[in-house]
Chains A and B, each alone.
Chain A
Amino acid sequence: MTDKKKVAILWLGSCGGCDETIVDINELILGVVNSVDLVLWPVALDFKYHHIEKMADGEIALGIINGHVRNSDHAEMAKLMRQKSQVILAFGACACFGGTPGLANLRSKEDIFRWVYQEAPTVINPKGVCPQTTTRVDGKELTLPEMFESVHSLDQVIDVDYYLPGCPPPPYLVLKAITAFLENTLPAKGSSLASHKALCDTCPRNASKPNKVAITEIKRIHEVEADPTKCFLSQGIICMGPATRSGCGESCININIPCRGCFGHIELVADSGAKFLSGLASMIDADDEAGLEKISDQVRDTIGYLYRFSLPISIMNQKKLQSDEVKSDD
């Protein structure tokens, strides 16, 4: 037996990038693995769910969960992890905010199924078949999890103790979070384990940002060669920096690409999209309402920019979630 703290890593509706960023701490992962007792990591280890089911409630010291909740398997595993874990860390943008796949909340499940299984140009489906939760083939039963109507962030399904944002969180923040856990220096419950500043405050182009940004034309990233030294907004390019939490290391800015908000909302802001929209309105430089409308119409995909990673937790999405299946299962 070991007296090391038990840690479980689980992925739900995930792309694998969060697991990859754990490996990206490179040689230091050997030390981390030796410091804890890893009891689950499906991408890397062959422990099965029944191993977790057999554990005592609260036996796992830290449950790290990445990915959103989109189907019955995800919800079931999230609830099991909550039951068995003292501390739950929502790891990455999908777990924290729903992530990019959360944009699927703009579409019904039926609409998605119709395209994927019937209308896409390569599909050949003469009988109109769709995946079923239970199928009998030659007398043999096969089952699939039920896909929910909406994508959910983790805290819409279970109680979450800490949030580590980013798509994925950068390796240095992963190490910092693990170190805080091992040294018992985690902050107050509910905290984000990232900077409390906005990206604009740490952006290397901050000095070039004028006191008052005056946008006369919105430009798309493929239309212009952005000046790599100047604030994107001052060049008329949508950048979510003012409404996004810092901590990414400005990795996108460094390759001359504006922020899309994967670190989510800044401290004390409930809705990063609304926050940004309010700021953007004040930056548009127009003499009259018609001029204002002309420039604002140049923002071609408002939701896609403002809620690229956070639609499931936005105020826009709340009515839909109230009637969703996950809540009724509690």
Chain B
Amino acid sequence: MTKKITINPITRLEGHGKIDIFVDDKGNVEDAYWQVVELRGFERFCLGRPAEEMPRITPNICGVCPTPHNMAATKALDDLYSVSPTPTAKLVRQLQYNSFMLEDHFIHFFFLSAPDFVVGPLADPALRNIVGVIQKAGIDVGKKVIDIRKRCREIMALIGSKPAHPEGGVPGGVTRGITEEERVWIKKTADDAVTMTQFALDLFKDVVLKNKEYVDLILNDAYKLQTYYMGLVDESGNVSFYDGNIRIIDPAGKEYAYFHPRDYIEHIGEWVEPWTYVRLTHLRKVGWSGLIEGEGTSLYRVGPLARLNVAKNMATPLAQKEYQQMYSVLGNKPSHHTLAFHWARLIEALQAAETMQQIANDPLLTGTNIRNMDLKLKKVGIGCLEAARGTLIHHYETDSQGLLTKVNLIVATQHNAAPICMSVKKAAQGFVKGTDVEEGFLNMVEMAFRAYDPCLACATHSLDKPMPLELNIRGLDGNIIRTVRRE
């Protein structure tokens, strides 16, 4: 008889979700579903609002990744009003944005993913958390991580008001510039950020790459998924966070599409299933092919590994060296190894830190020309950039007064939702054999979705407690057949 395993709520996840796993009478996983369990409807209740308010409204979609929404909205306003930000304004925005990317990637690595590698995926759950990481890496490292996060968020607040909900952003510019006095401490923060990110990469390499078991885990088929990949690249084809064109490659690495974000509707379709509130994106021209990988799939992935897969190179020199090393270990591009998202994330953090350095050294940063007021409303505006977890698209249409008549938003979790379902299923199939479920399995399944989700910046794990988890295995009649606990 098929048994249903429910994990609800999924914890250490930004937002609400649950996982249902179905196990057949031979103990093999038949299927698994990762469900998004709520909807708020921003696309609809923003109608009638003045478009210029969107950089202030849409950060409320996500308080962990609010800067990408603020920035995508601001870029959509640039497009809506046919205006380019002044050179200084663009630098200020990119400073804010790279500070965010670094901070978000950093906290995800140390607080969420590092426990699985630094402490170990099968280690005592009581130690598999940030405290365990600090015990291994040292209290000074813990303090430095908190300090860098704090300082990055101070830069974000300087430009965007509140880091948890940025409020700035106007078409053609920013509302506040940077003074020379501020530039000095921004430069120091950027320098320290580069040093800390290099340390994080060294830690990752020492702990993971020198441990054959971990390398085998990364390369394990249970954590492999053959999909298309999508991400922004700059004019040289390098990884880009703030702007550029969208490049899609197929599972073999061949370029499938390369287009301006304004053409996104030609390429992206969103499928609706009755068992989840999230729309499932796929390649429109391939057509919805369901939850399958490899040949015939219409699914693609976004986020750190996807961005590195679609790009020719990184945009900064230190990150480029790390990029080359990663692919030398993982093998050919594209890499389909889901756990490599973590590695790619750190390499991107280094690019963000180096970019902050470059911006802090640019004399234009402290310029006073921060607004281009030459606005010409054209009624359609599309803003696109790379959020920490993947490509983010804001599409607005307005009346002649700039009041919104249409809003369409595609966020990273939508792109990755179907692949996350499949990753959870493959991990369950890879690590569950028979009915004797080991505790380590629970963490192995969690690791499958954790790789995708850098939006858990606030997930500090347990600081002084073990992390109990309970699974109830139920028959289809709803009765509990077996309970698995990790205390």
Spell out A's residues near B (CB within 8 Å): 11, 13-24, 26-27, 29-30, 33-34, 38, 42-51, 70-71, 73-74, 99-101, 103-104, 106-107, 111-112, 115-118, 120-125, 129-132, 135, 137-142, 144-145, 147, 167-168, 170, 220-223, 225-226, 228, 251-252, 254-257, 260, 300-301, 304, 308
Contact = CB atoms under 8 A, between A and B. Distances in A.
A172 B400 CA distance: 43
B16 A73 contact: yes
A304 B53 contact: yes
Contacts of A51: 468
12 contacts: A11-B16, A16-B15, A17-B59, A23-B458, A26-B146, A104-B41, A122-B269, A122-B279, A131-B277, A137-B275, A252-B162, A255-B167
Given A116-B39, A141-B476, A304-B49, A20 B408 contact: no
A137 B158 CA distance: 50
A140 B2 contact: yes
Given A16-B15, A107-B45, A120-B408, A257 B476 contact: no
A48 B31 contact: no
A116 B44 contact: yes
Contacts of B123: none
A205 B257 CA distance: 52
Contact of A257 (B41, B168, B276): B168
Contact of B274 (A34, A46, A131, A170): A131
A15 B61 contact: yes
B246 interface: no
B426 interface: no
B16 A129 contact: no
Interface stretch (B6-14, B236-244, B308-316, B321-329): B6-14
B272 A15 contact: no
A29 B459 CA distance: 13
A314 to B, nearest CB: 15
Given A23-B457, A120-B43, A255 B161 contact: yes
Nearest to A26: B150
Given A27-B146, A47-B11, A257-B168, A142 B275 contact: yes
Contact of B22 (A46, A100, A112, A140): A140
Given A46-B11, A120-B279, 14 more contacts: A20-B64, A30-B463, A45-B467, A47-B467, A49-B8, A116-B43, A117-B272, A120-B270, A122-B268, A124-B269, A132-B275, A257-B167, A301-B48, A301-B50
A165 to B, nearest CB: 13
Contact of A116 (B11, B279, B464): B279
Interface in B38-66: 38-50, 52-53, 56-57, 59-64, 66
Contacts of A221: 52-53, 170
B288 interface: yes
A107 B41 contact: yes
A255 B274 CA distance: 44
A19 B63 contact: yes
Contact of A104 (B33, B40, B162, B373): B40
Nearest to A66: B63
User: What 10 A-B pairs are tightest by C-beta distance, nearest first?
Assistant: A17-B63, A112-B41, A46-B467, A15-B63, A222-B52, A17-B164, A142-B275, A16-B63, A100-B60, A104-B45
B110 interface: no
B273 interface: yes
Contacts of A100: 57, 60
A43 B63 contact: no
B301 interface: no
Given A48-B469, A257-B168, A131 B284 contact: no
B62 A220 contact: no
B175 interface: yes
A123 B149 CA distance: 38
B20 to A, nearest CB: 6
A252 B167 contact: yes
B300 to A, nearest CB: 14
A7 B280 CA distance: 37
B60 A15 contact: yes
B122 interface: no
B276 A144 contact: yes
Counting chain A CB atoms within 10 Å of each CB, the highest count among B31, B56, B401, B457 belongs to B56
Contacts of A14: 63
Contacts of A27: 143, 146
Nearest to A225: B371
B175 A45 contact: no
B299 to A, nearest CB: 14
A285 B465 CA distance: 62
Contacts of A254: 161, 176
B281 A122 contact: yes
A144 B277 contact: yes
